[in-house]
Structure 1
Amino acid sequence: MTLPTLLDIEASGFGRGSYPIEIGLARTDGSTCAFLIQPLAEWTHWDPKAELLHGISRARLQREGHPVVEVARWLNDELAEIGIAYSDSWGYDNTWMSLLFHHAGMLPRFRLEALRRLLDERQLELWSAAKEALITECDIQRHRAGEDARLLQLTYEHTLALSRAESGS
Structure 2
Amino acid sequence: EQGRGTFVQDNAIDYAISKRTRFSQNMARQNLSSDVDILSVDLLPVSAELAGLLALQPGEEVHRIRTLSRVELRVVDYATMFFPAARFPGLPEVYYRHRSVTRTLQHFGVQDYTRRFTRVTARLPDAEVVDYLGIPKNRPVLHVKSLNVDPAGVPVQYGVTHFNGDLVQLVMED
TM-score (norm 1): 0.25
The structure with more helix, counted as a fraction of residues: 1
The structure with more strand, counted as a fraction of residues: 2
TM-score (norm 2): 0.25
